[in-house]
A and B are shown apart, each in its own frame.
Chain A
Amino acid sequence: DGGITQSPKYLFRKEGQNVTLSCEQNLNHDAMYWYRQDPGQGLRLIYYSQIVNDFQKGDIAEGYSVSREKKESFPLTVTSAQKNPTAFYLCASSKGLAGETQYFGPGTRLLVL
Chain B
Amino acid sequence: DAGVIQSPRHEVTEMGQEVTLRCKPISGHDYLFWYRQTMMRGLELLIYFNNNVPIDDSGMPEDRFSAKMPNASFSTLKIQPSEPRDSAVYFCASSLRGDRETQYFGPGTRLLVL
Decide whether A and B are members of one complex: no
Residues of chain A at the chain B interface (Cβ within 8 Å): none
Which residue numbers of B lie inside 8 Å of A, CB to CB?
Answer: none
